């Protein structure tokens, strides 16, 4: 699944989906999203190298800002701030809104793969 790129406040972010389920060959839901500052490169190699990392160890990537888990979409979200820089509560809300927009509009995700 492709990374999502968007802006909140004065931050450019790259959000990488970590867990996905499939229905008829199409990704339909993702639960955990790793958040990185977008360095502007938007390269597939960079996305792939970052998406291969698990949440089992502390990240040393200076662009890593933690991850958001959708435990009950639309109701319960958890932000784990285990990066070098934390998001504020308002920024977390904005990230959740952006991710939710993609989750609620699967055609946007399909467009990312074309």
Secondary structure E strands in the chain: 4-8, 11-17, 20-23, 26-30, 32-37, 64-72, 76-80
pLDDT digits (tens, 9 = 90+) for 4-54: 889 998 899 999 887 666 666 665 566 889 999 987 765 545 555 555 555
For the whole model, what pTM was predicted?
Answer: 0.75
């Amino acid at each position: 699944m492709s990374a999502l790129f968007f802006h909140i406040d004065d931050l450019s972010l790259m959000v990488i989906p970590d867990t996905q389920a499939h229905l008829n060959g199409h990704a339909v839901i993702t639960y955990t999203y790793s958040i990185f500052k977008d360095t502007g490169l938007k390269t597939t190699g960079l996305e792939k190298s970052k998406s291969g990392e698990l949440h089992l160890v502390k990240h040393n990537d200076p662009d890593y800002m933690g991850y958001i888990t959708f435990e009950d979409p639309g109701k319960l979200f958890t932000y784990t701030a285990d990066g070098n820089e934390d998001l504020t509560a308002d920024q977390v809300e904005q990230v959740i809104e952006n991710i939710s927009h993609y989750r609620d509009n699967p055609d946007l995700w399909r467009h990312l793969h074309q």
